[in-house]
Amino acid sequence: MELKLFHRTQRELATTINQVVDAYWRNEMAEKHLIENIKALYNNNSEKLLKEDKFTTIIQQQCGKRRLSVVKNILELPVKL
């Protein structure tokens, strides 16, 4: 699965997040790759994903609670040194 890491809009970012999480749920992506992809998306698009430590409204509407709970848990994982 080829991922675009830099997004122009929040809607594009939400679509990519949906594709990544859905691929993991369909067992098409390993957990390690899910974590790597979500962290990379966050690192490159943090201003489009979070505002004042909350997911932006468009991200919430496009992704939904279940996907965002996965994303939130991934972002809270400790960084491996």
Query: Residue 79: pLDDT above 80?
Result: no
Sign of CA dihedral 70, 31, 17, 74: positive
- Which pLDDT tens digit goes with each residue over 12-64? 999 999 999 999 999 999 999 999 999 999 999 999 999 999 999 999 999 99
Q: What is the pLDDT of residues 46-56, one digit of tens each?
A: 999 999 999 99
What's the Cα-to-Cα distance from 14 to each of 11, 39, 71, 76, 80, rounded to whole Å? 5, 14, 11, 19, 26
